[in-house]
Amino acid sequence: MQEELQKEAFEALQCQKDARHKRITSQITLIERELAELTMLEIEQRDTRLDTQMVSCDSCSSITSIAVVRLLDSS
């Protein structure tokens, strides 16, 4: 009788451990997925920022070139 109660208690503890393990595993999976999504968003934002900076640099370069040509023409 005592052995049977111990066996049932042990099985109940194992079930609790299994449930906890499953819950933790699913939380880790969710966190990994969310981190991957955040990483992709950050990459997209960085690319957009770099594109904007490149357009700005191109504009500055064009303006500088025009200014140099005008200076050379006026001399």
pLDDT tens by residue, 54-72: 888 878 888 888 888 888 8
Asked if pLDDT for residue 75 goes beyond 80, the answer is no
Per-residue tokens: 5: 């109660």
Domains held by the chain: number: 1
Is this prediction's pTM over 0.85?
no
Instruction: Return the SS3 of 42.
Output: helix
Q: Which residues form the domain of 50?
A: 1-75
56 versus 34: the higher-pLDDT residue is: 34
Measure CA 67 to chain center.
43
What pLDDT is stored for residue 6 in this prediction? 93
The fraction of the chain above a pLDDT of 70, given in percent, is: 100
